[in-house]
Structure 1
Amino acid sequence: MTVNRMFDECLYFNTAALARTLEREWAKAFKPFGLTPSQAFMLRAVVERPGQLQGTLADALAISRPTATRTLDGLARLGFVERWSTERDGREAAIHPTDSAHAIMDRIGAASSQITRRMKRKLGNARFDDTVSSVRHIRTTLE
């Protein structure tokens, strides 16, 4: 049995390999903006819901708070987000997009749409949609 065949039925191996493939594709799409895929998706979430708390943002993106902090640090260094202290607790930060973030959102959305269309062409719309739905269901069930 070859190594590839050994892992044909392994959920971990196949989803991890898929994640690496997707990471490379999305990295190419967001490279012109100087963003990693994680930063681009987080920025989209911040622009969609300005003022959300950092912890709420981490939960919405299904990432740890330290990961959210590092990603936000990068976005802040790039001038795309600002952290504002909240009135409730000075340690808590509300995340707001800057004008620079708003200025690139249409182009980020277009890059996302382009890569999604390309994947749907390769996989077919039904398989693409079913895969996203299945992976989301598995993720939420196992959490």
Structure 2
Amino acid sequence: MFEQCLYFNTTSLARKLEREWTVAFKQFGVTAPQAFMLRVILKKPASLQSELAKEMNISRSTATRTLDGLQKLGYIKRSPSNKDGRESEIHPTAKAVKIMDELNFASGEVTKKLRKLLGNEEFERVVGYVRAVSEAV
């Protein structure tokens, strides 16, 4: 019925992928969105919240909620910014740094599973198409 509906098919795929990454990140006590944001913070420490929101393609309020959750779990800390006095810099804590490799490995395992399921070429093609559509909309 919805074979040609971009909304239906992308949200259906998103729900399935959410379940995969939820299982992968459960051991860390974080949601998939929290884990992906934490991975960005670990790679780009001292980022401003607005920079993280842009990187993750989410609203600032969604970024705030995600960061609040990570802070409650002890994975990040906020500090005043020299770049922009209206925002805080987001830094990973030692607890976050300690799990960084395991977090990246867990995510990589899901990616490996999907590559195996689809094949490398198809996986690369699908990710490229989805990115192109996302950037075009």
Aligned residue number for residue 52 of structure 1: 47
Shift of 1:29: 0.4
- In structure 2, how many angstroms separate the alpha carbons of the residues matched to 1:7 and 1:87? 50
Q: How does 1:24-35 map to 2 (within 5 A)?
A: 24-35=19-30
Gaps of 5+ in 1: 1-5
SS in 1 for 2:89: strand
Gaps of 5+ in 2: none
Let me know the Cα RMSD of the aligned residues: 0.9
SS in 2 for 1:84: strand
Aligned residue number for residue 3 of structure 1: none
List structure 1 runs of 4+ shifted beyond 2 angstroms: 87-91
The percent identity for this pair of structures is 51
Aligned residue number for residue 108 of structure 2: 113
Shift of 1:86: 1.4
After TM superposition, the score normalised by the length of structure 2 is: 0.97
Q: How does 1:1-143 map to 2 (within 5 A)?
A: 6-87=1-82, 89-142=84-137
Larger Rg: 1
After TM superposition, the score normalised by the length of structure 1 is: 0.93
Higher RCO structure (Cα 8 Å, ≥6 apart) = 2
**Cα displacement string for residues 75-123 of structure 1 (whole angstroms, at most 9, x for unaligned residues):** 0000000111113554311100000000001101111111111111111
SS in 2 for 1:95: strand
- In structure 2, how many angstroms separate the alpha carbons of the residues matched to 1:89 and 1:43? 21
